[in-house]
């Protein structure tokens, strides 16, 4: 009997993953991973609350469970890189870093050390057993974007039981099995921040000086709290008003400590037909043939866009879209697709 270690988060997706694998005849073990030590407003450890749900689920499924602590590895490999990127004026994606460095590296290694033949997670994506990463069946929940930096060798040892299901089907299965998390809300927000206000959180780790909001013509229109707190395309949270269309962030000048803004959601400064990217990670390791005609998206919820990718320098990509893209954000991830298959990703430079 094959043994599968299921990464249990305390949510319904990983719970149903364990349920399905047990029904398929696997020997299933639940494994909870603690990455971040934080308490809520009442002083209760957030990870402890999630682990309680893991315990309740595993008891209901009658499977053994364990807990591992990777808080130090997470701070060293994910959170520090996250902070370093902000210092450079970038807007990083810690969820992609976490999948690359923690969930499908050190967590996978722990699963194998426990004797697992596979690691399973509740991600909405699929793999073909040969290390290819495929989009999840549910277009509203597909999470292949977040796994776009994971290598094929790791994916060969991973199962995604809910990747071939729609979210509503997962909820139905959880209720039929009387799982204690069947109606638990999905987690939202950045992995270690959740729904909390981002600005106060980040201010605990980075010292930023207030500066000015300026237009492209150099007109000062207000004061900002620090360039790290703003991202391209942002509209809310700037305290800028006056008559006319809403203000949007269209750029940042780190050297002068200036956030550049203009009025209007469709201002030309928000759009570009090209971008440059580095820190490229192809899932198959070997780079494709260039020029690469494929699809790509520059944020999680975006529909894939037709583009042509060329490699101008080693590890630096030049991407040309068939249609101009809004708010291309340095530091974010661009993921590349060939139909249903995710080919890999890179970090947006400009």
Please provide the DSSP assignment of 11-27 as one string.
SHHHHHHHHHHHHTT-E
Which of 221, 243, 265 is where one domain is finished?
A: 265
Mean of pLDDT values over 87-94: 87
User: Does 149 lie in the same domain as 28?
Assistant: yes
User: Does 278 lie in the same domain as 259?
Assistant: no
User: Does 240 lie in the same domain as 108?
Assistant: no
In a domain, 197, yes or no: no
Q: What pTM value is reported for the model?
A: 0.93
Is pLDDT at 46 greater than 70 in this prediction?
Answer: no
Structural domain tally of the chain?
3
pLDDT at 5: 98
User: Does 58 lie in the same domain as 157?
Assistant: yes
Largest CA distance in the chain: 69
User: Does 120 lie in the same domain as 20?
Assistant: yes
> Which two structure tokens, joined as six digits, stand for 213?
């909001």
- Closest among 23, 322, 309, 339 to 161, alpha carbons compared: 23
User: Does 280 lie in the same domain as 159?
Assistant: no
What's the pLDDT tens digit per position in 2-28? Answer: 999 999 999 999 999 999 999 999 999
Rg (the chain; Cα; Å): 21
Distance, in Å, from the CA atom of 126 to the CA atom of 293, rounded to the nearest integer, reads 23
In the three-class reduction of DSSP (H, G, I as helix; E, B as strand; rest coil), residue 244 is classed as coil
User: Does 277 lie in the same domain as 246?
Assistant: no
What's the pLDDT tens digit per position in 265-295? Answer: 999 999 999 999 999 999 998 889 999 999 9
Distance, in Å, from the CA atom of 300 to the CA atom of 189, rounded to the nearest integer, reads 12
User: Does 113 lie in the same domain as 245?
Assistant: no
User: Does 16 lie in the same domain as 161?
Assistant: yes
pLDDT at 43: 45
What's the pLDDT tens digit per position in 152-209? Answer: 999 999 999 999 999 999 999 999 999 999 999 887 655 555 555 677 777 888 877 8
Confidence band, pLDDT 50/70/90 cuts, at residue 44: very low
Q: Which residues are catalytic, by number?
A: 98, 191
Which residues form the domain of 254? 210-265
Q: Are 308 and 320 in contact (CB under 8 A)?
A: yes
pLDDT at 188: 62
């Amino acid at each position: 009997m094959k043994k599968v270690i299921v990464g249990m988060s305390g949510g319904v997706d990983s719970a149903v993953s364990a349920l399905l694998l047990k029904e398929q005849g696997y020997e299933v073990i639940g494994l909870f991973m603690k990455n971040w030590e934080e308490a809520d407003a009442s002083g209760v450890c957030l990870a402890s609350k999630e682990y309680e749900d893991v315990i309740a689920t595993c008891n209901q499924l009658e499977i053994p469970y364990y807990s591992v602590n990777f808080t130090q590895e997470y701070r060293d490999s994910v959170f520090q890189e996250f902070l370093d990127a902000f210092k450079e004026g970038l807007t990083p994606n810690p969820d992609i870093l976490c999948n690359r460095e923690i969930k499908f590296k050190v967590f996978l290694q722990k699963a194998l050390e426990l004797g697992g033949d596979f690691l399973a997670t509740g991600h909405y994506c699929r793999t073909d057993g040969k290390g290819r990463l495929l989009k999840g069946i549910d277009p509203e929940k597909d999470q292949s974007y977040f796994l776009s930096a994971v290598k094929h060798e790791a994916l060969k040892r991973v199962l995604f039981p809910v990747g071939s299901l729609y979210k509503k089907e997962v909820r139905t299965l959880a209720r039929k099995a009387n799982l204690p998390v069947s109606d638990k809300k999905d987690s939202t927000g950045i992995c270690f921040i959740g729904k909390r206000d981002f600005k106060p959180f980040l201010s605990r780790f980075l010292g930023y000086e207030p500066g000015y909001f300026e237009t492209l013509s150099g007109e000062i229109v207000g004061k900002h709290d620090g360039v790290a707190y703003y991202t391209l395309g942002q509209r809310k949270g700037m305290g800028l008003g006056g008559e006319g269309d809403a203000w949007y962030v269209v750029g940042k000048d780190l050297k002068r400590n200036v956030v550049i803004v203009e009025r209007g959601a469709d201002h030309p400064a928000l759009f570009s037909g090209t971008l440059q990217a580095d820190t490229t990670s192809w899932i198959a390791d070997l780079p494709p043939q260039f020029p690469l005609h494929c699809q790509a998206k520059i944020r999680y919820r975006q529909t894939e866009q037709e583009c042509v990718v060329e490699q101008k320098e080693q590890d630096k990509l030049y991407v040309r879209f068939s249609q101009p893209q809004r708010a291309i954000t340095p530091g974010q991830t661009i993921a590349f697709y060939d139909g249903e298959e995710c080919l890999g990703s890179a970090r947006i430079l400009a």
